[in-house]
Structure 1
């Protein structure tokens, strides 16, 4: 492969100031080509060139950059794969502000998390929440957050400017027994990975960089409360790497009320795909459902932490996913060393049956106490 020619072509495109360029993910088919590319990039790239707009994703032997729509890199066919760097959105539907909410939210109670706290509180289990960031000043999250990373601005803390990430963090690990709310795993530690902007949208390349950060920083669980309709081989590659590193990935199925389909990355078999239930233990009307779902959890009218120390009620499979991530933290603190495959099997065989005649008996609602019993028997 003529690496220098490839770099020059990328530079010509990224130097273009017209708006017609589109974001692409380019993966190198051969490790040697990627190595040569990384070695030659600083040499070929002069200080005036825009090589800084080429983002490296080593775990998938890839880069993210802008290209002209008609640029197919044909002469490098057989050496690189190209895919669109798609937009991806957080999964939540309705929301409303709540003045104050104290104690244990209904979803945390419904999955029987409080009954496990005598045995496990998720102590020191690290959960990477790839989302909009977190409110570091929220009294209920003060002891639950580590520094994390802001992929949109690396010099800043991953401060939440949307609210969604703070809501997810609260359900997983809020810990303010006297004044505020308590999450599923109050002693777990959340690493906020800010990949999503204030509108709750990100690019696939940001998610991949977030997964790479989680692998490097040895998190135990990754919470992915977002999704998209299209399949991305680059994202699958990153998910595979995390799975192979022993990280459990929990992903929301989507809020389209579909019976036979779930969004990516929940659709990948390496993740735990989560659907949402309501207080009646029925599948919430908005939730995707069916054979692709691994487990359901509370996701309807969930109250959790919000920006500026407040609380919000939100509905969505996002909210269900955070209950599952918290439950896995409880399980891992109690029985360290379980693999992603083992945890998925434990969750699936310890569910509570759903209400409603059409509900399939094989898939049910998350039950922390049954999970604990299943692992103690094994």
Structure 2
């Protein structure tokens, strides 16, 4: 590959300016070519400061930078060595949100999946969960014993503090542990690593998600919770998810809230993830939840109470909420069966699920079921 020509074209793109500038990912087909270009870029950026704006994305052997829209023709000479992908925006999967007055106790969803019945044998002790989200409120009393270090990809160098609330809600359902005054999550002794990839408005770029997955892989996280999605397929995001799964990490992703009957959002649609849909108190698929054959498991996702900013509690609905129940359940499982691989965990979840109910209250055996932790752990002990 003509590395000098690559750097010259890249510098020309970065110098062009104009109103139609968009973020792109430049991903190399061969790792050794990427490493060669990365080393050359580091040296070149000393003499050409504009190149310093290019961000490395080692998990997908690529770079993230701003280019003029529709760059494919201009980069045609390098198409055998790399591919270009627009760095799209991605959004949270929460449908409704309202504050509530909460005294103490176990939320209905945690009870529904039978987590309390498992706590005599497992509480998720020492299982590390990366929550790629809006950050977490480190001061919330329900999360005081559940939070470890993380990373802020929105404002790099700062702590991953939550300025939205969504991430704190997700973390509470997974691992809250305030028995006296607050709530208890599915796996109260599991450990949350907040990965802040989403801003105040609950928006992120694909490259931020990839960087978050990369951080989780490097820090040997056991589970990644991804309560977000988009309608477009991303090869770079697929590569990152595949790398995480190959590293032994269970990637749990929400299916989306568009009430689609035969389709779900990415990254949940990738076969490497555990795709989660939402149910209500009656074990019916929630009206807002995407559903169909791409969903692997359902979990409570309607009117879920959990922790919020400034020591408060909010009730939220969405497949985001369902996903956090499943992440907690996997933490309970891994604490007693640490050798299970992601695909084995997915198979166990599907095999031990309870049948969901249709709107006319009939049991549905044709669709994936709702998670049942007691059955999950019992089946795992046999293997």
Same fold by TM-score greater than 0.5 = yes
Q: TM-score, normalised by structure 1?
A: 0.98
Query: Is 1:367–2:372 an aligned residue pair?
Result: yes
Q: Displacement, 1:79?
A: 1.1
2:227–2:253: 8 Å Cα contact kept in structure 1?
A: yes
Whether the aligned pair in 1 keeps the contact of 2:275 and 2:297 (CA below 8 Å) is yes
Relative to structure 1, is the Cα distance of residues 319 and 101 closer, same or farther in structure 2, using a 3 angstrom cutoff? farther
Q: Give the drift of 1:71.
A: 2.4
Query: Matched residues in 2 for 1:153 and 1:4: separation?
Result: 32
| 1:64 aligned residue | 64
- Aligned 8 A contact 2:355 2:363 in 1: no
Match status 1:273 vs 2:272:
no
| Cα-Cα RMSD | 1.2
Structure 2 regions of 5+ residues with no counterpart? none
Tell me the CA shift for residue 99 of structure 1: 2.3
Separation in 2 of the partners of 1:144 and 1:275? 25
Q: Secondary structure at the match of 1:46?
A: helix
Contiguous gaps of at least 5 residues in structure 1: none
CA drift of 1:6 comes to: 1.1
- The answer to whether 1:6 aligns with 2:6 is yes
Q: Deviations over 1:102-157 (max 9, x none)?
A: 11000000000000000000001000000000000000011111110001122111
> How far apart, CA to CA, are the structure 1 residues paired with 2:124 and 2:218?
21
Structure-2 residue corresponding to 1:87: 89
- CA contact under 8 A between 1:354 and 1:361: conserved in structure 2? no
- CA shift, 1:47, in A, is 5.2
Matches within 5 A, 1:159-170: 159-170=161-172
8 A contact 1:87–1:204 mirrored in 2: yes
- 1:324 maps to which residue? 326
CA distance in structure 1 between the aligned counterparts of 2:156 and 2:108, rounded to whole angstroms: 36
**Cα 1:362–1:255, aligned 2, differ >3 Å: closer, same or farther?**
closer
Cα displacement (A) at 1:358: 7.3
Following superposition, the deviation at residue 361 of structure 1 comes to 4.1
Q: What is the CA–CA distance in structure 1 between the aligned matches of 2:161 and 2:103, rounded to whole Å?
A: 23
Moved more, 30-39 or 151-160: 30-39
* Pairing 1:287-326 to 2, within 5 Å after superposition: 287-326=289-328
**What is the aligned partner in structure 2 of residue 50 from structure 1?**
50
Kept in 2: contact 1:11–1:49 (CA 8 A): no
Which residue of 120, 123, 129 maps to 1:121? 123
